[in-house]
């Protein structure tokens, strides 16, 4: 005869359903919907949603001691391996040519990091601890792997909401940026045409660039070495042309595999009791503040450059100083063309955008240095 204990065992899944787990499953379905139906960063939101769903099913063995999601978290998030592997792929995919053609644009990338520090202050005012505030501020880097890397070191318990905020808002760049760009610029400023003359960059310079950046940044900000080193390794492989197979593997197979593992592992951290707190809402709010302040600072700094250059710089390209590469540059081009269909700012915006990519990594390293973290 089947005893009541056996029936209890069979029904233990149902008996462990909690309100929190139901809400989290609902949230995972929202993430899946956004990724699949709306196309918002599906490569990340789909695995994160799936990880969240699997982790919140009652008594999920996947997040038990030797469960797959726990193993993925331990092997790639706890030790920061996954974001660094993704950085190799990003480096292999990024063309820094537009930045090399116009190196002064690198300053726009610096201005685009202002949101990190403003958000840090706002988070402190809302009662977060210093490491938590720094982790929330790094959403303003608008760079998923950097956010994961920094928050994984400073506040691993906030990794879930920070990652979701970073990637969700990154997919909303085409919606967030235009009102800020239009609000802070006049029509005449948006109409400024910036002539583009392609400058020949030798292969030697393209190869020297990643080495130079790694040595300079790594020497001055050792905390940034893992991030900048992997980004520039990928770029060196691409520009050298000597290891085509490795470049392709880094940009495609490895990046895709790691993205899947990363998404699942981060999704598994979004467990009901830990995630459903008012501070999660606060992080989501601060995330959008970070994005907005970044864009505003970029545009305002470009306006300063516009004045200094006597109207030769279109302030719109300042919004591309954030790291969302290359989406921010495309948004700049679109907004510029709304005013003047024959205004082509794309290459200038791409230069600022590539600078933002480097600047966000540098800012992440600087933040870790200021917090005294980073494993040194």
Partner 1 sequence: MENLLWGLQTTLLGMGLVFSLLALMWGLLTVALRLDQPSEPAPRAGGPEPAPAAPEPQFPPGLDEQTMAAILVATLAHRAQRRREAAPAMRSYWPGSLLYASRWVGAGRAVQNHGWRRGYR
- Binding residue for partner 1, selected from 202, 245, 278, 372, defined by CB under 8 A: 202
Q: Which two tokens stand for residue 320?
A: 């591309």
- If the CB atoms of residues 50 and 217 are measured against partner 1, the closer one turns out to be 217
**Counting contacts by CB under 8 A, is residue 188 touching partner 1?**
no
Least distance to partner 1, CB of residue 117, Å: 4
All residues at 6 or more sequence positions from 113 whose CB lies less than 8 Å from its CB, including other chains: 140, 141, 294, 297, 356, 359, 360, 362, 363
Least distance to partner 1, CB of residue 284, Å: 20
All residues at 6 or more sequence positions from 360 whose CB lies less than 8 Å from its CB, including other chains: 109, 112, 113, 141, 142, 143, 146, 322, 323
- If the CB atoms of residues 88 and 134 are measured against partner 1, the closer one turns out to be 134
**Closest to 359 (Cα-Cα) out of 316, 313, 324, 314:** 324
| H or E stretch at 352 | helix 346-371
Binding mask 302-341 for partner 1 (x = CB under 8 A): ----------------------------------------
Least distance to partner 1, CB of residue 212, Å: 6
The interface region with partner 1, picked from 39-47, 70-78, 174-182, 209-217 by CB under 8 A, is 209-217
| 3-state SS, residue 274 | helix
Q: Which two tokens stand for residue 230?
A: 């992997």
- If the CB atoms of residues 39 and 103 are measured against partner 1, the closer one turns out to be 103
- Binding residue for partner 1, selected from 110, 293, 316, 320, defined by CB under 8 A: 110
Binding mask 54-93 for partner 1 (x = CB under 8 A): ----------------------------------------
Phi, psi (5° rounding) for residue 68? -60, -45
Number of residues counted as binding partner 1 (CB under 8 A): 42
Give the DSSP letter string of 89-134: HHHHH---HHHHHSGGGHHHHHHTTHHHHHHHHHHHHTT--HHHHH
CA 354/CA 235 separation, integer angstroms? 12
- If the CB atoms of residues 170 and 359 are measured against partner 1, the closer one turns out to be 359
CA 130/CA 133 separation, integer angstroms? 5
CA 224/CA 209 separation, integer angstroms? 17
CA 65/CA 336 separation, integer angstroms? 53
Segments of the chain assigned E as strands: none
**Counting contacts by CB under 8 A, is residue 281 touching partner 1?**
no
The interface region with partner 1, picked from 199-207, 273-281, 306-314, 343-351 by CB under 8 A, is 199-207
- Binding residue for partner 1, selected from 186, 205, 256, 309, defined by CB under 8 A: 205
- Binding residue for partner 1, selected from 9, 29, 216, 308, defined by CB under 8 A: 216
The interface region with partner 1, picked from 74-82, 106-114, 174-182, 189-197 by CB under 8 A, is 106-114
Are 292 and 114 a contacting pair, CB within 8 Å?
no
Q: Which two tokens stand for residue 65?
A: 């001691």
Least distance to partner 1, CB of residue 139, Å: 15
**Closest to 360 (Cα-Cα) out of 156, 67, 23, 87:** 87
Least distance to partner 1, CB of residue 369, Å: 8
Residues 112 to 151 in contact with partner 1, rule: CB under 8 A: 113-114, 116-118, 120-121, 124-125, 130, 133-134
CA 156/CA 132 separation, integer angstroms? 9
**Counting contacts by CB under 8 A, is residue 282 touching partner 1?**
no
Cβ atoms < 10 Å from Cβ of 18: 12
The interface region with partner 1, picked from 8-16, 25-33, 257-265, 366-374 by CB under 8 A, is 366-374
Least distance to partner 1, CB of residue 374, Å: 14
CA 72/CA 265 separation, integer angstroms? 6
Contacting residues toward partner 1, per CB under 8 A: 100, 103-104, 106-107, 109-110, 113-114, 116-118, 120-121, 124-125, 130, 133-134, 199-202, 204-205, 208-209, 212-213, 216-217, 220-221, 355, 358-359, 362-363, 366-367, 369-370
């Amino acid at each position: 005869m089947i005893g009541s204990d056996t029936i209890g065992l069979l029904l233990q899944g149902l008996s462990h359903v909690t309100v929190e787990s139901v809400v989290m499953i609902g949230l995972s379905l929202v993430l899946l919907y956004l990724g699949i139906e709306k196309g918002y960063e599906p490569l990340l939101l789909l695995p994160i949603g799936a990880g969240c769903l699997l982790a919140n099913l009652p008594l999920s063995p996947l997040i038990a001691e030797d469960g797959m999601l726990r193993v993925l978290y331990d092997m790639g998030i706890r030790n920061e391996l996954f974001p660094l592997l993704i950085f190799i792929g990003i480096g292999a995919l990024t063309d820094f040519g537009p930045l090399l053609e116009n190196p002064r644009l690198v300053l726009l990338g610096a201005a685009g990091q202002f949101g990190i520090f403003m958000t840090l202050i706002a988070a402190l005012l809302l009662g977060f601890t210093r490491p938590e505030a720094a982790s929330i501020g790094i959403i303003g880097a608008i760079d998923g792997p950097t956010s994961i890397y920094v928050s994984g070191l400073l506040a691993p318990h906030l990794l879930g909401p920070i990652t979701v905020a970073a990637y969700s808002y990154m997919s909303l760049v085409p919606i967030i940026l235009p009102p800020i760009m239009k609000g802070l610029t006049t029509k005449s400023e948006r109409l400024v045409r910036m002539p583009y003359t392609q400058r020949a960059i030798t292969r030697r310079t393209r190869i020297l660039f990643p080495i130079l950046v790694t040595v300079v940044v790594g020497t001055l900000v050792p905390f940034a070495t893992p991030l900048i080193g992997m980004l520039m390794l990928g770029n060196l492989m691409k520009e050298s042309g000597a290891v085509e197979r490795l470049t392709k593997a880094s940009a495609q197979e490895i990046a895709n595999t790691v993205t899947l593992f990363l998404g699942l592992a981060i999704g598994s951290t979004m467990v009901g009791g830990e995630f459903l707190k008012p501070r999660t809402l606060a992080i989501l709010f601060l995330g959008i503040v970070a994005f907005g302040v970044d864009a505003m600072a970029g545009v305002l700094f470009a306006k300063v450059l516009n004045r200094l250059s006597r109207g030769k710089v279109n302030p719109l390209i300042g919004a591309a100083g954030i790291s969302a590469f290359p989406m921010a540059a495309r948004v700049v081009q679109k907004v510029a063309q709304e005013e003047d269909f024959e205004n082509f700012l794309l290459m200038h915006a791409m230069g600022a955008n590539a600078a933002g990519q480097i600047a966000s990594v540098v800012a992440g390293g600087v933040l870790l240095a200021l917090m005294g973290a980073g494993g040194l």
